[in-house]
Structure 1
Amino acid sequence: MPDARKAPWSFTHSEVGSRLEELRERRDLTQRAVVDLLLQHHDIRTNISTLSNIENGKKKGLPRELVEALLDVYGAEPQARQHVHDLLSVDTTPAGRTRRPASWRRNATLLGPTQFESYLRMERRASSIDNYERDLLPGLFQTEKYAHAVITGMRPDLNPGQVRELVDVRMERQRQVDEWAVESLRALIDLEAVNAVACDPTQIRRLLQECEKPKQTVRLLPKFGFHPGMAGPFVVMYFPEAAREVAWAEAMTHSVYVDTEASVRLYTEAFTAMWERALTPTETRICLENKIKELQQ
């Protein structure tokens, strides 16, 4: 994916940075010129590196005084200025709200290569989440036993202690889901994932419980020939404060994060096409109930 890049520390900061960069370029100003203008007209000392980090969403703190001065230097119109103010009024930086969960801090090395901590931060702030899973059940719906089997099988490089730590991260994530901003979660799961050996009656009952939660819709996808989901699982998240969506796909050693409109559209259209081919929520529940009966025979 040509526009794949590292996920931002804060989605809001990334959006503010993009808006400021756009305003600067409209004035045809270099970052060097902006540094000089800030000192000359606002008595603010900064440097090109700081401006670059702001524009790229890499700066974890955005001083209000500096942002206001930049808006002045760029001659921002009232509408553009208000948009930046609105973004800054929404706190989407987890560090500004609470400390990182202990399990994240303990396992930063394990979570780092796939940028999974970045995903966890964004997941908490999204208002809607569309999750397609091909071979597995979504992490939010997994029992501890199932999660242990999945992580052990997918990560043979980890020792038993490290597997246990990642299971703990997954379980903590499930315990905290009620604190998230999410208003809608749609889970689309290949039917074959339910037929896998690891899906025992306890795990399927758990999945049935998830089907009953008001904010969630779970649908199973039967085989119907070739389709976009065969490329792998993915998640699409929507952030109302930035009025846009991002897509996330995780592989064994890395993750792909995209936020350009054209690339995200590929994921949203793929999800919609598969969602329309999936079993209805009622059909999904019946299928799961029948699967439990089958396993208990």
Structure 2
Amino acid sequence: MARAENKETAGPATRLVANVAKNLRIRQGLTQEQLGSELGYSGAAVSAMETFAQPASDDMLVQLERVLGSGTGIFEQAREYVRLDKYPAQFKDYVLLEQKAVGLSLYATLVVHGLFQTEAYARALIGGGYPPLPEPRVEELVEARLARRVLFNREPVALIELIVEESVLRRGIGNPEVMRAQLLHLAECARRRNVTLQVLLMDCGFGGEYAGGHGGLNLVETPTHEHLTYLESQEESLLIADPAKVSTYMQRYAKIRAQALDPRESLGLIERLAGELR
């Protein structure tokens, strides 16, 4: 069932890579088993790639370039586009903006923001969702999510702000070891010079003000310094470009930031919570 769905929904980059790889394999007189052996994969994995049942993984594309690419760089260049094919349809437009952004201001209310997730946390979250996903699809989504982290080391540097609800840090995902590693990863991210991380305490509304009640929020500054807002809920998404609406979201984000702990206090809390999971 899962493989039939993949065949029907395979994106254009996935189809192009499969067709090119198949044609080059046949031209070189290789069977699927022989090519798989050269790549370090099974013949069944090559068959799944060629029939769109399972898109090529990032590692398989690297190996295809080595074995079939002949220095053309075709499979290397395809990596970014195949990765995009793996994202959910409602997310593809945003991820392109995210990877090119000069600035991101993020507010996470339910789980750790995808850009900051560890592999184990992402796998537990995606694999434990509903409706259940086939294991190959879980792995696709985990790989695609982790690939977004190249933004942290991109040149020119992107400035990233994350405000995370305290409840997110206390919500158990996977198991205590997964959560501890996730908290330590957040602490490591918080020490980056291009990252500002703050925690909004669960009792911040006791003073009569709580600006975060409308849910998660993603603000994007593009390379041309256009400001956009991206909202996502229940696997539906909305990208907003209207300047007046975006301004309102920016003001709301500024208020949320003002109500959160400062970065040093936030880092201390994250490290303390990680220590409690030893």
Q: Equivalent residue for 1:161?
A: 136
Q: Is the counterpart of residue 264 in structure 1 residue 267 in structure 2? A: no
SS at match of 1:214: coil
Query: In the alignment, which residue of structure 1 is the partner of 2:180?
Result: 201
Task: Describe how 1:62-73 pairs up with structure 2 within 5 A.
Answer: none
Q: List gaps (5 residues or longer) in structure 1.
A: 1-97
Matches within 5 A, 1:250-289: 250-289=232-271
Over 3 Å counting, the alpha-carbon distance change for 1:176 and 1:237 in structure 2 is: closer
Asked if structure 2 preserves the Cα contact closer than 8 Å seen for 1:249 and 1:255, the reply is: yes
Residue 139 of structure 1 corresponds to which residue in structure 2?
114
**Which letter does structure 1 place at the counterpart of 2:141?**
L
Letter matched to residue 107 of structure 2: Y
SS in 2 for 1:231: coil
Q: Report the CA distance shift for 1:266/1:211 in structure 2 as closer, same or farther (over 3 A).
A: same
Tell me, yes or no, if the aligned pair for 1:201 and 1:295 is still in contact at 8 Å. yes
How many residue pairs align between the two structures? 194
Alignment of 1:106-255 (within 5 A): 106-107=85-86, 111-112=88-89, 114=90, 116-175=91-150, 177-179=152-154, 181-198=156-173, 200-223=179-202, 224-225=204-205, 227-241=210-224, 243-255=225-237
Residue 128 of structure 2 aligns to a residue whose secondary structure is helix
Name the SS of the counterpart of 2:193 in structure 1.
Answer: coil
- Partner amino acid for 2:121? Y
- Residue equivalent to 1:68: none
Query: Can you list the C-alpha shifts for 1:187-225, whole angstroms capped at 9, x where unaligned?
Result: 000011001112621111111100110100000001222
Corresponding position of 2:70: none
CA contact (8 A) 1:247 1:258 kept: yes
| 1:51 matched residue in structure 2 | none
Find the residue that maps to 2:239 and give its secondary structure.
Answer: strand
RMSD of aligned Cα (Å): 2.0
Partner-residue secondary structure (3-state), 2:131: coil
The runs of 5 or more residues in structure 2 that have no matched partner are 1-76
Q: Is the 8 A contact 1:125 1:181 kept in 2?
A: no
Task: State whether residues 208 and 288 of structure 1, in contact with CA within 8 Å, keep that contact through their aligned partners in structure 2.
Answer: yes
1:13-65 residue CA offsets vs partner (Å, 9 max, x unmatched): xxxxxxxxxxxxxxxxxxxxxxxxxxxxxxxxxxxxxxxxxxxxxxxxxxxxx
Aligned-pair CA distance for 1:231: 2.2
Partner of 1:80: none
Does 1 or 2 have the higher relative contact order (CA < 8 Å, sep 6+)?
1
Could you say if the C-alpha distance between residues 176 and 131 of structure 1 is closer, same or farther in structure 2, counting changes exceeding 3 Å?
A: closer
Give structure 1 regions of 4+ aligned residues with deviation exceeding 4 angstroms: none
Greater Cα radius of gyration, structure 1 or 2: 1
